[in-house]
A and B are shown apart, each in its own frame.
Chain A
């Protein structure tokens, strides 16, 4: 029994293939992370699962219903927290929740009881009659989470739930997620490009260029690396890489102005390497594996690089100007 089942899902837009034949399933009560750089196909996948987009081919099933043929059943069974805010700033927190309750067919008594319940959960009871316009980014996100839970969904989708939030709000939201999981056994599907967040998930699918390239618990994924990452910078990186390959028979990759290699027990290997190598090394860095290394090992690039992407800067600007403007 799985709460989300995706088989060979593909979404093509006019110019590009955003999602390219992905398959995975998520069990009940799991916190499942979709990790990848921006533009990897995360939001497209979430939009298909939420019935906002139709797939070009393949199947997607949520809470036992087919996303293409039973969209209303899927919608009733899911809660969604979108990347960008979707609250009505001209209504109060309470009114936003009431609106949601009616859209999801809760009766008056149930609606009132659950609104009080979710407001308490996200610690906004005292602010319930304030216009959302006056809320901070973190409060808005908490209210959106409260709203997403109002109709007791089986699956909660969160698209970059902590994007643009300060560390304090981010921690608070993660606390909610853990409490929720413990208290309700709800399935949570979240996309993120924050590695620390992915580390907190039960299982993670790493997605790049529309394809799932690895899937498993963070521990499993890191174990797959079989070792630590050594990052070396030399005057001539290509010569250093060639030398490492020749002397140690290791797969040394040159990327981003550094040579990276993976070894077991790096702290023991490193002195030996430095003693024997002739190339002039200017910088050495040893790290125990993180999910970024998994991504790096699989794609040859780092997830973090994407954050400086000009498109993202534009997006971030658009987001903040929207906040100001409203």
Chain B
């Protein structure tokens, strides 16, 4: 049996590798940062002219938690999907024949995805004062905590999907049938309460809904009760994310073990 310390080392080095590559690939870093900024200021900036502020929250402020959710969603899923790249280019074999447990591999990938997501969230935090949102230090930590939970669960979910993919061709399917619907049906762009009944029903099954709602709880607490504010209490959001995280981690492990 390998020791816990040895496996912790493996988790560290798997995370270290992803980080190195993330920092090295400038285009990826720029791309992941450009997307939410584009949405926030171009889409948000345009729509904010048509949408009336409610509860003291403008539309631009309203979609900010959603943009953080989007950043986490993309960063987490992209990071997890790198397993498919690793398989395609053989590097996964180097990891699989190493004397470490399969759990460490999955856990390492999940930690890496979480860290990369959080770095991007920290960059987004710069916009909080720009958008005229005021948060306390406690709220800041709550924001990072919620973001971390969401990132960890989404990366695990991504690993579950990636371990089922044998080639990179499935990537578009994942983007079009999982990632984009998750984003649009999460309350990131519009209040869940104002959606047509069928779509509203669907948002209940989307884990990202609770992630975005948790972020709204932290960032838009002043608008609670209005349609611009959070739908559920923070504790409820975090409980659902925790449950989703548990299921995703277990299934990702099971699936990865089975696949390779």
A is bound by B: yes
Give the interface of A toward B (CB within 8 A): 50-52, 72-73, 75-76, 78, 80, 82, 84-91, 95, 98-100, 102-105, 147, 322, 326
Query: Which residue of the partner chain A has the closest CB to B90?
Result: A86
Could you tell me if A86 and B99 are in contact, using CB atoms closer than 8 angstroms?
Answer: no
Give the interface of B toward A (CB within 8 A): 1-3, 6, 9-10, 12-13, 16-17, 20-21, 24-25, 88-91, 93-101
Could you tell me if B17 and A89 are in contact, using CB atoms closer than 8 angstroms?
Answer: no
If over half of B's interface residues share one DSSP class (helix, strand or loop), that class is named, otherwise mixed; here it is: helix
CB within 8 Å for A103 and B89 given contacts A90-B25, A91-B17: no
Could you tell me if B99 and A82 are in contact, using CB atoms closer than 8 angstroms?
Answer: no
Looking at the complex, which one of B1, B12, B25 makes contact with A102 (CB distance below 8 Å)?
Answer: B12
Shortest Cβ distance from residue A6 to the other chain B in the assembled complex, whole angstroms: 18
CB<8 Å pairs between A and B, sample of 7? A72-B1, A72-B2, A73-B99, A75-B99, A91-B20, A99-B17, A100-B94
Could you tell me if B97 and A104 are in contact, using CB atoms closer than 8 angstroms?
Answer: no
Residues of B within 8 A of A84 (CB): 90
Most buried by A among B12, B89, B100: B89
Could you tell me if A104 and B99 are in contact, using CB atoms closer than 8 angstroms?
Answer: yes
CA distance A84 to B90 in the complex (A): 7
Most buried by B among A72, A100, A105: A105
Query: Which residue of the partner chain B has the closest CB to A102?
Result: B13
- Considering the complex of A and B, which 4 residue pairs feature the smallest CB-CB distances, nearest first? A102-B13, A75-B99, A103-B98, A86-B90
Could you tell me if B89 and A322 are in contact, using CB atoms closer than 8 angstroms?
Answer: yes
Could you tell me if B90 and A82 are in contact, using CB atoms closer than 8 angstroms?
Answer: yes
CA distance A95 to B16 in the complex (A): 10
CA distance A129 to B75 in the complex (A): 28
CB within 8 Å for A90 and B21 given contacts A72-B99, A103-B98, A105-B99: yes
CA distance A322 to B2 in the complex (A): 34
CA distance A90 to B91 in the complex (A): 11
Could you tell me if B13 and A75 are in contact, using CB atoms closer than 8 angstroms?
Answer: no
Residues of A within 8 A of B1 (CB): 72
Known: A86-B94, A105-B3, A105-B99. 7 other contacts (CB 8 A): A88-B21, A95-B17, A103-B10, A103-B13, A103-B94, A103-B99, A322-B88
Query: Which residue of the partner chain A has the closest CB to B89?
Result: A326
Shortest Cβ distance from residue B168 to the other chain A in the assembled complex, whole angstroms: 10
Could you tell me if A50 and B97 are in contact, using CB atoms closer than 8 angstroms?
Answer: yes
Residues of B within 8 A of A90 (CB): 21, 24-25
Could you tell me if A105 and B9 are in contact, using CB atoms closer than 8 angstroms?
Answer: yes
Residues of A within 8 A of B12 (CB): 102
Shortest Cβ distance from residue B219 to the other chain A in the assembled complex, whole angstroms: 35
Could you tell me if A88 and B99 are in contact, using CB atoms closer than 8 angstroms?
Answer: no
Looking at the complex, which one of B9, B10, B24, B97 makes contact with A52 (CB distance below 8 Å)?
Answer: B97
Shortest Cβ distance from residue A292 to the other chain B in the assembled complex, whole angstroms: 30
Could you tell me if B98 and A75 are in contact, using CB atoms closer than 8 angstroms?
Answer: yes
Residues of A within 8 A of B13 (CB): 98-99, 102-103
Could you tell me if A89 and B89 are in contact, using CB atoms closer than 8 angstroms?
Answer: yes
Residues of A within 8 A of B16 (CB): 99
CA distance A216 to B30 in the complex (A): 59
Could you tell me if B93 and A86 are in contact, using CB atoms closer than 8 angstroms?
Answer: yes
Could you tell me if B90 and A104 are in contact, using CB atoms closer than 8 angstroms?
Answer: no
Could you tell me if A80 and B97 are in contact, using CB atoms closer than 8 angstroms?
Answer: yes
Residues of A within 8 A of B21 (CB): 88, 90-91
Looking at the complex, which one of B9, B24, B91, B96 makes contact with A87 (CB distance below 8 Å)?
Answer: B91
Residues of B within 8 A of A326 (CB): 89
Shortest Cβ distance from residue B147 to the other chain A in the assembled complex, whole angstroms: 26
CA distance A86 to B2 in the complex (A): 23
